Amino acid sequence: MKLSIEQAKQLIENKIRRTGYNIIYKNDAVSGMVSTITYNCYIPIIKSRTSLYTACHELYHCLRARTVDVYINEMRAEKFAHKYMRHLGFVVPRKHTKRSKWYVRNKLRKAKRRGLKKVDSEVQNFLNWGIIILSRWINV
Ligand SMILES: [Zn+2]
């Protein structure tokens, strides 16, 4: 697939709506949110790879109910966003891969503060592997 940003925007928004979530636009391109109580999905207006990446991440949350710890769920959303961006024909900027790890590492830190003893091995791999290996691995 090789879509324009506008085509990708339509596709992602349709997918989100089909899950039953309402889309609410927000100004910040790098963050979004999904409320499973109000069924609102907050995403930036998609007009760049950055905002598209954020929307892909939130799409994951709309598609999958959380059944694991937050730090694991967020890693899965980040992996999905990488995979889905590439599926749509977009290069994931290296800074997103870096931010991705930083984000999951932060969530892991919080989980540890709350008493987490054993770190999920997939998350461990996600955080330890090099960026090149990581991006190759996500394509599998
Ligand atoms: Zn998330």
Number of domains in the chain: 1
CA distances from 75 to 24, 26, 57, 126 (A): 23, 23, 10, 8
Distance 41 CA to ligand 1 centre (A): 11
Distance 1 CA to ligand 1 centre (A): 25
Distance 48 CA to ligand 1 centre (A): 19
The parent domain of residue 90 ranges over 5-139
Closest CA to 21 of 82, 65, 71, 75: 65
Cβ < 5 A residues, ion ligand 1: 74, 77
Q: Which pLDDT tens digits describe the chain residue by residue (140 residues)?
A: 899 999 999 999 999 999 999 999 999 888 899 999 999 999 999 999 999 999 999 999 999 999 999 999 999 999 999 999 999 999 998 888 999 999 999 999 999 999 999 999 999 999 987 555 555 555 53
Sign of the torsion angle spanned by Cα atoms 58, 49, 106, 75: positive
